[in-house]
C-alpha cells in the first residue's frame, strides 16, 4: 500500500518559493522584493483557485498590494477565493469585475456596499458568508485558512521582521493563520531598515512567519474612521446622551464598556466630564474601555475618568497623545500603541458589561440591521459587541442587575441564576433624508431574497437587545413580560414614525407606569437643559486644547 504524503502543504509552498526565485532574479534579495517586481512576485506565488487574504481593515489597507493584484493577467490568475475583513477600496471589487477573483467571505463593506450589491445581483460575486470580525478570524484557523496573505506593516528589516506600529489591527491573526498552515505571507511596508544603523522599534511579527517584504512607493492608506467633529453633535444627541448616562450607565454602574462609532456615542464621551460629573458618577462608571482611541474621549481621560483603553486599531493624529498617556493605552517600549482587533473583539464580547451603538433600521422584534435596499454593508464587529456572551462565567454588578431584570421580567423564566450583557441600540427615530429608523419589516429580508442568502443580514438580533434609546426615551426590553409588551415598548419610543404612530396608547402608558418606558422627565431630565454647552469640547480645536496640543487632527478636520 502506498504511503500517504503528509507534507503536501510544505511541498507546495516550496514549489511556489522556487518559482519566485526564478521569476525575480536580481529583484529579490533575501526576503526583500524590489518595488517594481511586485507583479512578478504575485504571478509566481498565486495559483488559480487560491484562497487569498488581502488585508483590508477598518482603517489600515494593504493598498499597494491591492492595486498590484488588480493588474494581474486573469488568464494566469483567476477564481481566487478572497477572505478579508473589510471591502474599503475600489480595488477590492475590481478584482471580481476583471475575473481574477470569484468568491468572497468578508465582514464589512462600508463605502463599497452599494457596488457590492450590484455585483452580487449580477452574478459576478459568490458570497460564502457575511461574518463578524471574530467569526472570520476564527475561520482562518479552521476552514478558511489563507494560502496567500497580503498584509501591511509600518516597517521591516532585511530579515523580514515586521513592525506594525499603532495600526496592528488584523495583521497578527492573518499572518499566524497563514504561516502555520503552509501558506505564504507577503507584506507591503512603508520603510525598510538595515538593522545596523537603524533598527525596528519593536518586532510585532517575527521574520520566520513572513515570506516576502516589499517597500510600497507611498505609505499605506489609513482612514480616520472613528474621528467625530464635536461641532456636528446636535442638541437631540446631547439629550440622548444625558439619558444614557443617567438612565443606563448610572443605574447599572457600568464600568467596562464598548462604544460603537457615531455622533451619538461621541456625545456620551463628551458629557462624562460635565454632566456625568454633576451626577457624582466619576469613579463609578466608564472606567475600562474596549475602544479605538476616539479623540472625543480626550476630555474624559484628562479629567481622570478613564483607567484603561484597549483598541481594535489606532486613530490618525492620536499617536503623540497615546504615547504621552501610556498608563491608559496599551503601548510598547517604543511608546506606540499595540492594537489588536481579534483580542479587542474578544474583550468586547466577554469582558465588557455594555455595548451601545446605532443602526439604520429596527423592527418590532428589536432586530436591527445596517443592510438596506441596494446596499450590502456587512456587520463588522457589532454582533460580537452586541451579543450576550453565553459562555461568560465571571460576574459584575451591571451584569447581575441586567440578569435579574431579565428573569423577573419574563413569566415562567425562573431557574439557574445568571447575568446578562447590556446591549443598547441608540437611534434617532428618523435618519437622514427623513428615513424612519423603525420599520415593520427590515430591508434585510428583501436583500436575502435578492442575493440568494441562507440568512437575512441582521446585524444584532432582537433577543440580545436590552434597551432602545431614542429622543423619546428609553425602552427597557428586559422588563417586558410578553412579546406583545415588547412590541409596544418599541412602538412607545419610535416617535412619529409609522411604527410609533401605531402604538396602543393605553398599553404604552401602562409600560411607562411600570418603568419599562421612561421619558426624559421620568429620569429628572429637562430637555431644555440639553444644550451643546454641556459638551466638554464643542469643536476639534477644543479637543486639541484639551490634549495639551498632543492631538494632531487630520487636515480634513482642521478649520482654523
Query: Per residue in 411-469, pLDDT tens?
Result: 444 568 889 999 999 999 998 878 999 999 999 999 888 877 888 989 999 999 999 99
Task: Give Cα 420 distance to the centre of its chain.
Answer: 22
Give the whole-angstrom CA distance, residue 1 versus residue 14: 27
pLDDT of residue 98: 95
Q: If pLDDT is split at 50, 70 and 90, which confidence band does 4 have? A: confident
Q: What is the mean pLDDT of residues 293-310?
A: 98
User: What is the reported pLDDT for 411?
Assistant: 41
| pLDDT above 50 for 350 | yes
- pLDDT class of 272 with cuts at 50, 70, 90: very high
What pLDDT score does 410 carry? 53
Q: Is the pLDDT of residue 378 over 80?
A: yes
Task: Report the C-alpha gap between 315 and 49 in whole angstroms.
Answer: 36
Which pairs from 3-12 meet CB under 8 Å and 24+ separation?
A: 9/181, 9/182, 10/182, 12/182
* The pLDDT value given to residue 192: 96
Residue 358, pLDDT above cutoff 70? yes
Question: What pLDDT is recorded for position 412?
Answer: 41
User: Lowest-pLDDT range, 80-84, 254-258, 349-353, 452-456?
Assistant: 452-456
Lowest mean pLDDT among 141-145, 198-202, 409-413, 547-551: 409-413
Strand 354-357 relative to strand 308-310, pairing: unpaired
Contacts of 259 (CB under 8 A, 6+ apart): 265, 268, 269, 289, 291, 294, 356, 357
- Whether residue 474 contacts residue 248, with contact meaning beta carbons closer than 8 Å, is answered with yes
The rounded distance, in Å, linking the Cα atoms of 505 and 501 is 9
Give the model's pLDDT for residue 392. 95
Q: How confident is the model at residue 3 (pLDDT cuts 50, 70, 90)?
A: confident
Rg (CA), the chain: 25
For the cut 80, the answer to whether the pLDDT of residue 319 exceeds it is yes
Give pLDDT, residue 448. Answer: 85
Residues in contact with 150: Cβ distance below 8 Å, sequence separation at least 6, in sequence order:
52, 53, 54, 55, 62, 65, 66, 69, 186, 187, 188
What 3-state class would DSSP assign to 476?
Answer: strand
The angle at the Cα of 487, spanning 486 to 488, to the nearest 5 degrees, equals: 90
Q: What is the pLDDT of residues 162-178, one digit of tens each?
A: 999 999 999 999 999 99
* Average pLDDT estimate for 285-311: 98
Rounded average pLDDT over 348-354? 98
Task: Return the C-alpha cell found at 329.
Answer: 493605552
Amino acid at each position: 500500500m502506498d504511503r500517504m504524503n503528509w507534507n503536501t502543504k510544505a511541498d507546495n509552498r516550496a514549489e511556489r518559493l522556487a518559482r519566485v526565485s526564478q521569476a525575480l532574479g536580481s529583484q529579490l534579495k533575501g526576503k526583500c522584493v524590489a518595488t517594481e517586481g511586485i507583479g512578478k512576485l504575485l504571478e509566481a506565488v498565486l495559483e488559480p483557485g487560491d484562497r487569498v487574504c488581502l488585508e483590508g481593515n477598518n482603517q489600515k489597507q494593504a493598498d499597494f498590494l491591492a492595486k498590484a493584484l488588480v493588474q494581474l493577467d486573469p488568464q494566469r490568475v483567476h477564481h481566487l477565493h478572497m477572505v478579508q475583513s473589510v471591502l474599503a477600496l475600489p480595488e477590492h471589487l475590481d478584482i471580481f469585475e476583471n475575473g481574477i477573483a470569484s468568491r468572497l467571505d468578508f465582514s464589512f463593506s462600508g463605502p463599497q456596499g452599494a457596488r457590492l450589491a450590484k455585483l452580487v445581483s449580477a452574478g459576478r460575486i459568490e458570497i460564502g458568508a457575511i461574518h463578524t470580525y471574530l467569526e472570520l478570524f476564527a475561520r482562518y484557523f479552521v476552514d478558511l485558512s489563507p494560502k496567500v496573505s497580503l498584509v501591511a506593516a509600518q516597517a521591516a528589516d532585511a530579515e523580514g521582521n515586521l513592525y506594525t506600529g499603532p495600526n496592528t489591527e488584523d495583521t497578527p491573526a492573518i499572518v499566524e493563520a497563514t504561516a502555520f498552515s503552509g501558506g505564504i505571507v507577503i507584506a507591503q511596508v512603508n520603510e525598510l531598515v538595515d538593522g545596523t544603523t537603524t533598527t525596528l522599534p519593536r518586532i510585532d511579527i517575527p521574520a520566520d512567519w513572513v515570506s516576502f517584504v516589499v517597500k510600497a512607493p507611498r505609505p499605506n492608506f489609513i482612514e480616520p474612521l472613528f474621528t467625530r467633529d464635536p461641532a456636528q453633535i446636535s442638541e437631540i444627541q446631547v439629550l440622548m446622551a444625558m439619558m444614557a448616562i443617567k438612565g443606563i450607565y448610572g443605574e447599572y454602574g457600568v464600568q467596562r464598556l464598548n462604544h460603537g462609532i457615531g455622533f451619538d456615542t461621541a456625545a456620551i464621551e463628551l458629557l462624562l466630564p460635565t454632566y456625568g460629573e454633576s451626577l457624582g458618577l466619576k469613579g463609578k462608571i466608564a472606567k475600562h474601555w474596549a475602544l479605538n482611541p476616539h479623540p472625543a474621549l480626550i476630555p474624559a481621560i484628562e479629567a481622570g475618568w478613564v483607567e484603561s483603553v484597549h483598541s481594535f486599531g489606532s486613530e490618525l493624529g492620536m499617536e503623540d497623545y497615546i504615547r504621552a498617556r501610556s498608563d491608559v493605552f496599551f503601548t510598547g517600549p517604543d511608546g506606540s500603541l499595540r492594537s489588536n482587533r481579534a483580542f479587542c473583539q474578544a474583550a468586547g464580547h466577554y469582558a465588557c458589561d455594555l455595548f451601545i451603538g446605532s443602526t439604520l433600521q429596527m423592527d418590532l422584534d428589536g432586530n436591527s440591521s445596517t443592510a438596506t435596499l441596494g446596499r450590502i454593508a456587512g456587520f463588522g464587529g457589532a454582533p460580537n459587541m452586541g451579543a450576550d456572551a453565553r459562555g461568560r462565567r465571571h460576574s459584575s454588578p451591571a451584569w447581575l442587575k441586567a440578569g435579574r431584570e431579565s428573569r423577573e421580567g419574563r413569566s415562567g423564566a425562573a431557574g439557574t441564576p445568571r447575568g446578562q450583557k447590556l446591549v443598547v441600540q441608540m437611534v434617532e427615530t428618523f435618519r437622514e433624508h427623513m428615513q424612519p429608523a423603525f420599520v415593520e419589516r427590515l430591508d434585510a429580508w428583501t436583500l436575502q431574497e435578492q442575493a440568494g442568502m441562507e440568512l437575512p443580514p441582521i446585524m444584532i438580533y432582537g433577543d440580545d437587545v436590552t434597551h432602545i434609546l431614542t429622543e423619546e426615551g428609553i425602552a427597557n426590553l428586559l422588563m417586558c413580560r410578553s412579546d406583545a409588551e415588547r412590541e409596544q415598548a418599541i412602538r412607545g419610543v419610535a416617535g412619529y414614525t409609522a411604527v410609533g404612530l401605531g402604538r396602543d396608547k393605553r398599553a404604552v402608558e401602562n409600560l411607562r407606569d411600570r418603568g419599562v418606558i421612561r421619558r426624559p422627565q421620568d429620569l429628572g431630565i429637562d430637555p431644555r437643559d440639553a444644550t451643546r454647552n454641556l459638551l466638554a469640547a464643542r469643536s476639534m480645536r477644543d479637543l486639541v486644547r484639551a490634549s495639551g496640543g498632543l492631538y494632531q487632527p487630520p487636515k480634513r478636520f482642521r478649520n482654523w
